[in-house]
Amino acid sequence: MIVQDAPPQATPQAEPAPRCAEPFSEPAADGFLLGGFTWRHASRDTRRAVVIINAATSVRCRHYARFADYLFANGFDVITYDYRGIGESRPASIKGLQATWSDWGTLDFEAMLKRAQREFPGQPIDVVGHSFGGCGAGLASSGRVIRRMVTVGAQFAYWRDYAPAQRWRMFAKWHVVMPLVTLFCGYFPGKRLGWLEDTPAGVVRDWSLSTARYETRPSGRLIHATAGRLPFAAVTAHTLAISLSDDPYGTIPAIERLLGYFSGCSNTHLRITPEDIGEQQVGHFAFFRSPYQATLWPIALSWLSHGELAPDHPGRQVPRSPAT
């Protein structure tokens, strides 16, 4: 693909369809049609893992196409997809679309797990989750099938966990302005404002009504009331949580808060500074951009390939506290 990368801290922009991938449509359990792309090797091999990439909130799956190309070139089959209301899974209008964070996990990601099992029978299933995508990986009822998982800046936007220097500005933007605009428009017109993609009102409600526990978010309460518990604990994946020190969303408290829900996983938290890889900034979105193919992508590749960090990996492991 001949596409210029945006500056590292820039909001993800729309990209052309991936060259090496085949588009697909997959109905979720409630019939909502989801769109995405599959990178598939010609020959079947039950030793080859298939990697599902879970996007950040309101970031199109095309943002991860180069990273998917990289995984494919290194021997994985790959699935990328958009949550309902976003990108390839957007209907003509999302005004009034009742889609929530929990729908994105319990229905949309669940549909991808089912697709992976059907399209790649017998192959291990791994997951890469960016931002909310790491949280969404814990919401599917079939999460127990995940073998390995890599998350990047994964959390569920509790405002007190935002980086202190930017906390109040971020609170005003995401927890005051965003819900007010959504109330007026019936959805959040993020693309017009340059704030990510247009976003369904239910997702905005989950994000903006910020609480320290996922089950007290609007859609989290529904899952908790229906099932009696959240599905996170059923996931037993060998998990690497990557955080960047200049990511104002993915602070250590935010990452550890989400990891606390994955109680059935063996969790490793790797904290990386831009200086560790010879950069001045990386931030929340840039990990999956091609300038970091030589410095950051091998960390994820090593974990997905072998379930461990390479001896010369950048960054430091964050000690896990029993309290988390």
**pLDDT at 322 > cutoff 70:** no
The matching CATH number, chosen from 3.40.50.740, 3.40.228.10, 3.40.50.300, 3.40.50.1820, for 22-156+214-317 is 3.40.50.1820
Q: Which residues contact 180 (CB under 8 A, 6 or more apart)?
A: none
Q: Which of 2-11, 19-28, 54-63, 155-164 has the lowest mean pLDDT?
A: 2-11
pLDDT band at 10 (very low <50, low <70, confident <90, very high): low
Q: How far is CA 212 from CA 32, 56, 148, 221, 269, in A?
A: 30, 19, 26, 13, 20
Q: Which residues contact 279 (CB under 8 A, 6 or more apart)?
A: 8, 295
More confident residue, 300 or 11: 300
**pLDDT at 85 > cutoff 80:** yes
Q: What is the DSSP letter of 173?
A: I
pLDDT band at 12 (very low <50, low <70, confident <90, very high): low
**pLDDT at 2 > cutoff 50:** no
More confident residue, 288 or 4: 288
CB atoms closer than 10 angstroms to residue 274: 18
- Its pTM stands at 0.93
Best CA proximity match to 148, nearest among 283, 231, 57, 52 = 52
Whole-angstrom Cα distance, residue 8 to residue 322? 35
CA distance between the termini of the chain: 42
Domain ranges of the chain: 22-156+214-317
Residue range 295-305, pLDDT digits in tens: 999 999 999 99
**pLDDT at 9 > cutoff 90:** no
Q: What are phi and psi of 192, to 5 degrees?
A: -65, -35
% pLDDT > 90, the chain:
88
**pLDDT at 1 > cutoff 70:** no
- At residue 249, the pLDDT reads 98
Q: What are phi and psi of 265, to 5 degrees?
A: -95, 155
Whole-angstrom Cα distance, residue 182 to residue 161? 24
β-bridge pairing 238-244 and 187-188: unpaired
**pLDDT at 222 > cutoff 80:** yes
Q: List b or e across 36-70, with b for residues whose CB sees 16 or more CB atoms inside 10 angstroms.
A: bbbbbeeeeeeeebbbbbbbbbbbbbbbbbbbbbb
CA dihedral in degrees (78, 302, 252, 13; nearest 10)?
Answer: -40
Q: Calculate mean pLDDT across residues 181-199.
A: 96
**pLDDT at 88 > cutoff 60:** yes
Residue range 40-79, pLDDT digits in tens: 999 999 999 999 999 999 999 999 999 999 999 999 999 9
**pLDDT at 14 > cutoff 80:** no
- At residue 91, the pLDDT reads 96
Taking a C-beta distance cutoff of 8 angstroms, is the pair 187, 198 a contact? Answer: yes
- At residue 228, the pLDDT reads 72
Q: Which of 38-47, 88-97, 315-324 has the lowest mean pLDDT?
A: 315-324
Q: Calculate mean pLDDT across residues 273-286.
A: 97
Q: Outline where DSSP puts E strands in the chain.
A: 22-27, 33-39, 50-54, 77-81, 125-130, 146-152, 187-188, 199-200, 238-244, 266-272, 316-317
